[in-house]
Amino acid sequence: MSLVNYATREITCKIVYYGPGRSGKTTNLHYIYGQVPDDRKGKMVSLATQTDRTLFFDFLPLDLGTISGFTTRFQLYTVPGQVYYQTTRKLVLQGADGVVFVADSQAHQLAENIESLQDLHANLAEQGVDARSVPLVLQYNKQDLPRDFILGAADLSDALNFRGVPEFAADALHGPGVFETLRAISELVLKRLSAGTAPAAVSRAPAMAR
Amino acid sequence: MNIATVESWIEAPLKRYVDEVHAHLALLLHPSGQVLAQAGFTREVDVMSACALAAAVYATAGELGRHVEGRAFGGLHYAGPQKQLFLAPVATSRGTFVCLTVFDDASSLGLVRLYFAELCRDLADAAPPLAARTAAPSFMNFEADLNRNLAALFGRDEVM
């Protein structure tokens, strides 16, 4: 659910990075966090286990600057990928304005990718959300690994991208594809908001003080 | 205390509440983690983090309640050495929100719960009915703005 304040011309949107365990969702946020100047990001919050696996979520508030006269902020979340964290995935997904699905390009992870994508659609449906209406971008991560171990972007596209959404090959650890993915999901979310089809809390109230 | 609200009808009831319970901090948020009002915070990023964490605590406590008691817990209290927090839902005609209150020895859980019930009534009374959807923000040719800002954020020269 986007929060739109017309009086102060501010918009806040929630983006969720979804995907199977160890696909690189947290790595995406870490890379973004490392690239963005301090004055344009908030503190990154990670609720992780002692072995640094995401337990609940990672959270990164990001100031995108002024877009069409609106101060635009994105709140980036990840979900825990492991199958047994189903409940927490549902909780984090609540109110998402857009979803980035981070697939693991390793060939032996294909079944996990498909299962996780099905899980995403099931969880959206359970919340009464038509998955086809939610802005979605696919990212095929770990494309830097040796060719023998991974599937190419075309193969992953055949297997996962049945909706024909924007898709990007990526190496989230070193950066390629991370920026492009964020740009694509930002564009889809703002387009949907502009079209008036996105759920939003709309306010004409005075400023939310800093 | 500094109070800021996204929706103006929240301000008076929240101000009364934080004054009565001598709250250090208070947050009213949507269960998805979006902030609707805050009192006592000094930096916006702290508000955002607090909202994300409060939404998480509320959601997990709710699920835990459903598992062990068959329904979500009505509220959550945590007592630290110096500060305490109280987290509970507020039902209004605009939907259910979550209120986080941080207080210390100048107050008590009983007092907070007493005035929280009053806050719930005040907000329910003050909430205007959901208006028909207003016009969506008009993003005309926003791609250029978006590309420029993202390129600046990521320290890139080229605009994609």
Work out the mean pLDDT of chain A and round it to a whole number: 89
Reported confidence tier of residue A200, pLDDT bands at 50, 70, 90: low
pLDDT of residue A178: 96
For residue B44, pLDDT beyond 70: no
For residue A194, pLDDT beyond 50: yes
CA–CA separation, A35 vs A30, rounded Å?
9
The answer to whether the CB of B67 falls within 8 A of the CB of B93 is no
User: A68–B142: do the CB atoms touch at under 8 Å?
Assistant: yes
Residue whose tokens read 């390629």: A176
User: B154–A187: do the CB atoms touch at under 8 Å?
Assistant: no
Between B89 and A202, the more confident residue is B89
pLDDT digits (tens, 9 = 90+) for A129-155: 988 899 999 999 999 999 999 999 999
For residue A37, pLDDT beyond 70: yes
Q: What is the mean pLDDT of residues B88-108?
A: 94
For residue B159, pLDDT beyond 60: no
Any idea which of B50-59, B101-110, B139-148 has the lowest mean pLDDT?
A: B139-148
Between B159 and A100, the more confident residue is A100
Q: What is the mean pLDDT of residues A1-22?
A: 86
Minimal CA separation from A195 to chain B, in Å? 7
For residue A1, pLDDT beyond 80: no
Between A139 and A58, the more confident residue is A139
For residue A205, pLDDT beyond 50: no
Report all structural domains of chain A as residue ranges with CATH numbers, in order of start.
2-203 (3.40.50.300)
pLDDT of residue B132: 54
CA–CA separation, B6 vs B19, rounded Å?
19
For residue B78, what are the CA distances in angstroms to A137, B84, B156?
39, 6, 45
Between A184 and B154, the more confident residue is A184
CA–CA separation, A73 vs A209, rounded Å?
15
For residue A207, pLDDT beyond 50: no
Class of domain B3-133: alpha beta
Work out the mean pLDDT of chain B and round it to a whole number: 88
- What are A84's two structure tokens? 């047994």
- What are B150's two structure tokens? 């993202």
pTM above 0.90, yes or no: no
Q: Pick B137's closest partner by Cβ from A4, A61, A64.
A: A4
CA–CA separation, A169 vs A39, rounded Å?
29
Which residues, in sequence order, are bridge partners of residue A58? A46
For residue A46, pLDDT beyond 80: yes
For residue B160, pLDDT beyond 70: no
**Domains of chain B by residue range:** 3-133
pLDDT of residue B157: 62
Minimal CA separation from A97 to chain B, in Å? 11
CA–CA separation, A109 vs B37, rounded Å?
43
Chain A interface, best mutation among B145, B159, B160, by max A CB count within 10 A: B145
- DSSP annotation of A41 reads B
Minimal CA separation from A174 to chain B, in Å? 13
Reported confidence tier of residue B45, pLDDT bands at 50, 70, 90: low
**Residues of B in Cβ contact (< 8 Å) with A56:** 56, 60
SS3 sequence of chain A: CEEEECCCCEEEEEEEEECCCCCCHHHHHHHHHHHCCHHHECCCEEEECCCCCEEEEEEEEEEEEEECCEEEEEEEEECCCCHHHHHHHHHHHCCCCEEEEEEECEHHHHHHHHHHHHHHHHHHHHCCCCHHHCCEEEEEECCCCCHHHECCHHHHHHHHCCCCCCEEECCCCCCCCHHHHHHHHHHHHHHHHHHCCCCEEEECCCCCCC
Query: What percentage of chain A has pLDDT greater than the value 90?
Result: 63
**Residues of B in Cβ contact (< 8 Å) with A203:** 6-7
Reported confidence tier of residue A157, pLDDT bands at 50, 70, 90: very high
Q: Pick A1's closest partner by Cβ from B32, B35, B160.
A: B32
User: A65–B152: do the CB atoms touch at under 8 Å?
Assistant: yes
pLDDT digits (tens, 9 = 90+) for B74-85: 889 999 999 999
For residue A50, pLDDT beyond 80: no
pLDDT of residue A116: 97
Q: What's the half-sphere exposure (Cβ side, CA atoms, 13 Å) at A172? A: 26
